[in-house]
Structure 1
């Protein structure tokens, strides 16, 4: 039981952290909060990460219910969510300066904590699908607990990067942050491929097995 918990926790923490596209979010956070005081930036970080956590937890549990209501299988949703996640990865690798969830330029807003920072930058359409898939794949209490703690850990890591964003910008520069964002996109593409291939193999086994 403990082995399953720790295994799920470690894998979920890494998966969720990459799903949040942390270096892309850091770059956008720096642009959106330019000129704000340190206190104002801390408030933005707290509100955005709290909003992302609440939405993430809801999505984590709602997957199986939603699949049942709309009459689709987990394998079908894996294929769809993985395909959308792959498009997100391509967007990060090829640009890194545009909203990876919608493909549209990010607008300046007075209050950027929830929209667009938490939604759709941290939790975009592709991330929503992936979180629902991961939540539906976990069955036992230890796995669900590990998954939830992994989500919390990933968001704490995201918050830490945002707190250190000014330092990261000075050390790495904008080009360095963009390079790290592209590397994150490559990892996301591999995760997307795994989700899609799992969905395809599961669909074939269920239909023709």
Structure 2
């Protein structure tokens, strides 16, 4: 039970810092600033639901992808660690996103809301490469069904929190202010970088042991 609680905390912490609802919030706000509250809620709901489904699918099919492309968990840990580290570094530099979207090019409001809910909000802002790598690695960490359920609950919980962030995006941004957002973004960036280093070391150590023929 203690191990399961630790795994739950690891899942929630990893996913929350990688998804980072705070960094999605200003982008979401800028894209939905001209929409009424009802449509904004619908966009937020569709984006978070789509992202959650994508993460669950990648978590379930991760082992199959490994077999098809001959990918090892250790290699993915190394790549995931590098991705996390780069993301964390950019967050520390207070770079929220490079994505820009010109809403004036879309004439149909329905088409616009459908487009932004899936791309770029669901992918890659919420379910980005870091989050996808994270769920695959976490899924492979424990083989028990109960641990897999814990991961799915964690994905649902982080998605719900992200939805609430998007739902109250404008009040949150106004309350925190630009300086507050940058400070919190840098703190989260540091956490992401630390997680990235841990993933990198945990993936590199078994590979070096195999190369050097050192027993664990």
Report if TM-score (shorter chain) is over 0.5. Answer: yes
Q: 1:9 corresponds to which residue?
A: 8
CA distance in 1, matches of 2:6, 2:191: 19
Deviation at 1:145, TM superposition (A): 1.1
CA distance in 2, matches of 1:67, 1:97: 31
**CA-based RMSD:** 1.6
Per-residue CA distance 1:25-49 (angstroms, 9 max, x = gap)? 0111111111211111100110000
| Aligned residues between the structures | 203
Per-residue CA distance 1:10-31 (angstroms, 9 max, x = gap)? 2211211111021100111111
Q: 1:106 corresponds to which residue?
A: 100
Deviation at 1:165, TM superposition (A): 1.5
CA distance in 2, matches of 1:78, 1:97: 24
- 2:185 counterpart of 1:181: yes
Q: Which has more radius of gyration?
A: 2
Q: 1:170 corresponds to which residue?
A: 174
CA distance in 2, matches of 1:97, 1:76: 28
- 2:209 counterpart of 1:205: yes
Q: Check whether the contact 1:21–1:184 (CA below 8 A) recurs between aligned residues.
A: yes
CA distance in 2, matches of 1:180, 1:35: 27
CA distance in 2, matches of 1:179, 1:188: 14
TM-score in terms of structure 2 length: 0.87
Q: 1:98 aligns to what SS in structure 2?
A: coil
Q: 1:47 corresponds to which residue?
A: 46
Q: 2:13 aligns to what SS in structure 1?
A: helix
Deviation at 1:50, TM superposition (A): 0.6
Q: Check whether the contact 1:85–1:127 (CA below 8 A) recurs between aligned residues.
A: no
Q: 1:32 corresponds to which residue?
A: 31
CA distance in 1, matches of 2:198, 2:139: 16
CA distance in 2, matches of 1:120, 1:183: 21
CA distance in 2, matches of 1:117, 1:12: 21
Q: Check whether the contact 2:21–2:162 (CA below 8 A) recurs between aligned residues.
A: yes
Q: Check whether the contact 2:94–2:185 (CA below 8 A) recurs between aligned residues.
A: no
CA distance in 2, matches of 1:156, 1:202: 36
Find the partner of 2:151 among 124, 147, 161: 147
TM-score in terms of structure 1 length: 0.90
Q: Check whether the contact 1:82–1:196 (CA below 8 A) recurs between aligned residues.
A: yes
Deviation at 1:149, TM superposition (A): 0.7
Q: 1:102 corresponds to which residue?
A: none
CA distance in 2, matches of 1:52, 1:38: 21
Which residues of structure 2 form unaligned runs of 5+? Answer: 104-111
Find the partner of 1:124 among 93, 104, 128: 128
